[in-house]
Amino acid sequence: MKVGRWIGAAALVGAGVLAYRAMQKRKEQRQSEQQSEHLQAHPMPPVRDAGAENMKTPPRRWSRTDERSDESFPASDPPATY
């Protein structure tokens, strides 16, 4: 009789482990789907490379500070030489 109880307990633990793994897998799939939906709903806008040569209408004057400021975008801090 004791062997039967051990087998039953092992089967119960095994079923619990399988159920837990299945729940984790479904959770990961839902997160992946949500990320995919978010990326489709909010695609990245096109971003140009830094420098006046990559602008549609470059400025007439372009200083070293302007260049560094353009290269640092979208950082919030201005360049140290500003």
Distance CA 34, CA 15 (A): 29
pLDDT reported for residue 73: 74
Which tens digit of pLDDT belongs to each residue from 59-78? 889 888 888 888 877 766 66
Q: What is the pLDDT of residue 25?
A: 94
Q: CB burial class (10 A; 0-12, 13-18, 19+) of residue 79?
A: middle
CA separation for the pair 52, 62 (Å, rounded): 7
Q: What is the pLDDT of residues 13-63, one digit of tens each?
A: 999 999 999 999 999 999 988 888 877 777 777 888 888 888 889 888 988
Element of type H or E holding 41: helix 2-41
Centroid of chain to Cα 55: 29
Report the first-to-last Cα separation within the chain, whole angstroms.
84
Answering whether pTM is above 0.85, one says no
- Report domain extents, the chain: 1-44, 45-82
